[in-house]
Structure 1
Amino acid sequence: MAGLSASDLMLLAAVLVPLVLALAAIKPFVRRRVDVLLLVAPLPGLLAAVAVPLGQSVLVVPSPFRLTFALDLPGAVLLGGAALLWLAAGAYAVCYLRSDPARGAFSVWWLLTLAGSFAVFLVADVASFYLAYALVSFSAFGLATHDDTVAARRAGRVYLALTVFGEALLIAAFVMLAASVTEPNPLIRDAVAGLPASPWRGAILALLLVGFGMKMGLFPLHVWMPLAHAVAPVPGSAVLSGIVVKAGLIGLIRFLPAGTPWFDWGAGLLAAGLFTAFYGVAIGLTQRHPKRVLAYSTVSQMGVVAAVLGVGLKTGDATVPVLAAFYGFNHMLLKGAMFLTVGVAAACPRRRLVPVLVVAAVLGLSLAGLPFTGGALAKFAVKEPVGDGLAGLLLALSAVGTTVLMARYVLLLADVGAGATATGGSVAPGLRVPWAVLSAAAVGLPFALFTAVTGTSLALLFSLDTLIKGLWPVALGLGVAALIYQKPPKFVEVPAGDILVAAAPLARLYQHVRDGAVLLDTLLRRWSTAALALVLLALVLGYVMAGVAFPPHSAP
């Protein structure tokens, strides 16, 4: 492509390479090389995140259609983390699905989801963002339903219904947002710049928050997460929880106005995020499988990120989106590694389970913010804009809940390992190596990025005051966990999807309404009934038109 620089080509390759591989994998002879496909596809994205200068943009298709790729700091952080997770989870999937007869079909969905997830971090115009967002959303359906069990099909139906609902809200928001700009397909930054002057700004913000909040799993739109994450294959769960939910995060980062305070909307998002953070912990503690615990943990952590974005929207702090992206990066790697740990524990002989549980505990404590781990850096990064007031205290208490929830995860993981049927001497290298590399990256890599992303010196993290603030929630959480699990209570497990169960009577009412509508449609399709209805409709319309043409007060 003449006129394109090396940086331009790297941006394009990040999306086009996995997309072309996905299309090629439709052919059976290509699908047979699934191991090569899954390992090669993330590499252009990783290269783009590392090597392309920030601020680089390329116009691929000119106006009026316009397809623009651009790399900014939040996009680079999330793109790099996603590429690492796709690479590790892809290597893991090659071994995990080796004997699965449907692994070729899985690879097609995998590559399409990968292409869409990279695209949402890179595209800079409104229409292209919507297409990328739709690609990652609908392709993830194939990952969640791969096992084709009854539970997988139910999870797929719920996920698809909420996805369509969220997409409908977002396309309405994008149309109204673009209406304030004269260009047919504006850049996202130009469209957002016109939001304060838009007569529909309240409606636009509401649609954006609900649409993107569904993908992030904010209450009450979180129900797809525990259903889908629990039934997907382990590598599929890792990318669903680690990457797919970040499509909602980058959406809020891109489309929420930064630098201008929107007090009421910010306070609403802050409240919704805090409630979601505690709700995810509370329901997660009742779960009896580690994958469902991790799914509700993701609900909780996305609530924390939403609360931080709410503070930024409330105060007009333009630095918050970058800090939220860094928090998302940390969660991306940690949660991906923790899902892979479930598969490793299930394949691990019982006598070799202890090292796996130790790694799982370190990952869980890092998620809670244990000092000297990457999670502590993420907590520190978002604490400054939140402050030490009530919101800061509630976020600290959510870290206490996360610690207790991660203790639950490790105990359940021990049960999974104790029931493992593995008889070999060790876990297969195809599972063990990607898991170990990703776990090490999750704990240590945030140290390499912290100063570059936040502009804060690492030295501040090692002051006594900072260490105490980071340590007390984890210590308190461990103390609470020890008290609870010394004599484990009999938790009544809340079914995955929680509020869907509570809404079962509404589902029955909907079924009755639907059956009634079908019966009415059947009656109206009969010629005699339809003819009578048409005559009555004509009489009513004639009466109305006569009233309009000859109103009563027009008589002399």
Structure 2
Amino acid sequence: MNGTVNAAMNAAAAGAVLAPPLPIAGAGSGAPEALLLLAVLAPLALALAMLKPALRRRVPGLLVLAPLPALAAALTVPRGMSVLVAPYPFRFMLALDGAGALLLGGAALLWIAAGAYAASYMRKDPARGAFATWWALTMAGSFAVFVVADVASFYLAYALVSFSAFGLVTHDDTVEARRAGNLYLALTVLGEAFLIAAFVMLASGASEANPLIRDAVAALPASPFRTAIVLLLLAGFTMKMGLFPLHVWMPLAHSVAPVPGSAALSGVVVKAGVIGLLRFLPEGVALPGWGEALTAVGLFTAFYGVALGVTQTHPKRALAYSTVSQMGVVGAVIGAAIASGLPGAFPIAAFYAVNHMLLKGAMFLAAGLAMAAAPARARQVALLAGLLGLSLAGLPFTGGALAKYAIKIVVPGGLAGFLLTLSAAGSALLMARYALLVAASGKPDKAPPAGIILPTLALAALALAVPFVLFGPVTGLPLAAAFSADALAKGLWPVALGLALAGLLAWRSWPLPEVPAGDILHAMGPLKALWRGISGLAVAADGQLRRWPVAAAALIAMAALLAAATAGGF
């Protein structure tokens, strides 16, 4: 395996995915540079069109078109090309590297399919114009984080995708939606505070006020603030990814968001945290201690998400906890990469994230399709959902198996490697639970809108096929390497174990009590009651102290104590 690892890393480092940087180009100097800019401007223009009431009714139908420039950019812009949009001191620079191109292309495919789905799904919603506005703004931010190259612009792009997603979470305006939105917003503000502190310290070591990300990160290993910067970066970005214990927003948000909104949140929005780690942690440079810590948190999150997900009774919540688990896997891979300083590992982490992005988006759309269908149709959809879920778990001969094989290049063995393999068994168990919930989610006398069937099938097909196209360019290995007898055997046993456990639980009628979404917050209920009691006592004490006799007596007592202390000093 070590020979395979070295060959893969060398091939990836020399391949198109990790092509050397090209000279910086001026804005508008050619089609590739224009595509990078249009990737961000197209959804922003769509959002601005919503300001005109006459257009607002028609714009939701254009949601499928706005991601096309981003898809074209991911496919055609040379890796390493940069374009200076605004000069210093308002420098705004765009660039596309291997990891960014992978995530940009995957996100564009998901936004296209989910946009077509949303246009039909939200057709009768009176607030569809507001939903489309938040949708377009979130899309613009999600594309921008994959292509911006300077620190200040990244922060603005990250804020755009983070805060705009609030509108997707709270769209239904129910009590549950407002609660989930408030929690999401609170954690988003906290994460932004962590990141802006880290970015200020990063920029303090640069010669310019707004340095390029690559220049700021190159100076990170020697920075006197390295420990604080890395800690803040990990806290801010893993909060968006949903790593334990900062995952609590995700199950609550997915439970209340409209189906296409959940697909975007789980598939794309959480990847803002992934690209943040890939951008701001130095690749090929070991960070002793930090890599091991991130790997440990990621592995714990991977199993934690499964443990809570299998108790869920709604397919969207099961998928939400699956996303928590899968982001734990991504975090563990990135942690292993920075623990060892392995070069060429970040595109592999991005490849795994893209596989999750497409599969999870398709699974949310499938869940929505089943919930809008009659029981017989829902059971048919469950077959597709089950195939997608098993691909996520790494079923041999699927695209997910290629993604699982790829991350073993970064984590080839040891305890971390074994636990990552074992987490695939948990994924298979959770995905079996999800498929059963999808099969049971149909409603009598219901027929899904025709417009949501084709986007679901199209995204499912892409999710299963795209990893086959990307595997070779990302890893530098032939497809046959992932389908050798040894690789197939190592990929099959975790899936078989997970399915066996699912069969056992199904035979026992799945006797697991459901853990409420937002698990930790629910468990803190008694503490909240205690806090309310303490707060009540404090308010009562404050009311007593405000009474003149009590306040006067307290003031006299304090004066006497001060006089005694002063006298004792002489």
* Superposition TM-score, scaled by structure 2 size: 0.90
What's the offset of the Cα at 1:504? 2.2
SS in 2 for 1:59: strand
Q: Aligned residue for 1:421?
A: 444
Contact in 1 for aligned 2:408/2:417 (Cα 8 Å)? yes
Counterparts of 1:110 and 1:377, CA distance in 2:
31
Q: Aligned residue for 2:271?
A: 246
SS in 2 for 1:258: coil
SS in 2 for 1:371: coil
What's the offset of the Cα at 1:532? 13
Counterparts of 1:71 and 1:225, CA distance in 2:
29
Contact in 2 for aligned 1:34/1:94 (Cα 8 Å)? no
Which of 271, 293, 302 aligns to 1:277? It is: 302
What's the offset of the Cα at 1:517? 7.8
Q: Match of 1:154, as an amino acid? A: R
Query: Does residue 94 of structure 2 align to residue 69 of structure 1?
Result: yes
Query: Does residue 529 of structure 2 align to residue 504 of structure 1?
Result: no
What's the offset of the Cα at 1:490? 2.2
Q: Aligned residue for 2:258?
A: 233
1:392–1:279 distance in 2 versus 1, CA, 3 Å: same
Larger displacement relative to structure 2 (405-414 or 353-362):
353-362
Contact in 2 for aligned 1:347/1:422 (Cα 8 Å)? no
RMSD between aligned residues: 2.7
Moved over 4 A (4+): 509-534
Counterparts of 1:434 and 1:180, CA distance in 2:
48
Q: Aligned residue for 1:370?
A: 395
Cα deviation code 1:312-361 (max 9, x no counterpart): 01000121111000000000000000000111111222233343111111
What's the offset of the Cα at 1:421? 3.4
Contact in 2 for aligned 1:369/1:474 (Cα 8 Å)? yes
SS in 2 for 1:69: strand
Q: Aligned residue for 1:549?
A: none
Query: Does residue 411 of structure 2 align to residue 386 of structure 1?
Result: yes
1:490–1:67 distance in 2 versus 1, CA, 3 Å: same
Which of 143, 148, 159 aligns to 2:168? It is: 143
SS in 2 for 1:257: coil
Counterparts of 1:523 and 1:381, CA distance in 2:
66
1:392–1:103 distance in 2 versus 1, CA, 3 Å: same
Q: Match of 1:22, as an amino acid? A: A
1:17–1:492 distance in 2 versus 1, CA, 3 Å: same
Query: Does residue 80 of structure 2 align to residue 55 of structure 1?
Result: yes
Counterparts of 2:528 and 2:325, CA distance in 1:
26
1:152–1:113 distance in 2 versus 1, CA, 3 Å: same
SS in 1 for 2:84: strand
1:490–1:470 distance in 2 versus 1, CA, 3 Å: same
Q: Match of 1:135, as an amino acid? A: L
Contact in 2 for aligned 1:31/1:104 (Cα 8 Å)? yes
Matching of residues 345-356 of structure 1 within 5 Å: 345-356=370-381
Q: Aligned residue for 1:451?
A: 472
Percentage of matched positions with identical amino acids? 64
Q: Aligned residue for 2:490?
A: 469
Which of 348, 356, 359 aligns to 2:384? It is: 359
What's the offset of the Cα at 1:522? 9.3
What's the offset of the Cα at 1:432? 0.5
Counterparts of 2:553 and 2:284, CA distance in 1:
61
Q: Unmatched 5+ residue regions in structure 1? A: 541-545, 547-551
Contact in 2 for aligned 1:270/1:310 (Cα 8 Å)? yes
What's the offset of the Cα at 1:231? 0.7
Q: Match of 1:503, as an amino acid? A: M
Higher relative contact order (CA 8 A, sep 6+): 2
Counterparts of 2:549 and 2:49, CA distance in 1:
54
Contact in 1 for aligned 2:295/2:334 (Cα 8 Å)? yes
Q: Aligned residue for 2:118?
A: 93
Cα deviation code 1:396-418 (max 9, x no counterpart): 1100011011111011111102x
Q: Match of 1:153, as an amino acid? A: R
Q: Aligned residue for 1:480?
A: 501
- The count of corresponding residues between Structure 1 and Structure 2 is 541
Q: Aligned residue for 2:424?
A: 399
1:117–1:530 distance in 2 versus 1, CA, 3 Å: farther
Contact in 1 for aligned 2:367/2:438 (Cα 8 Å)? yes
1:465–1:22 distance in 2 versus 1, CA, 3 Å: same
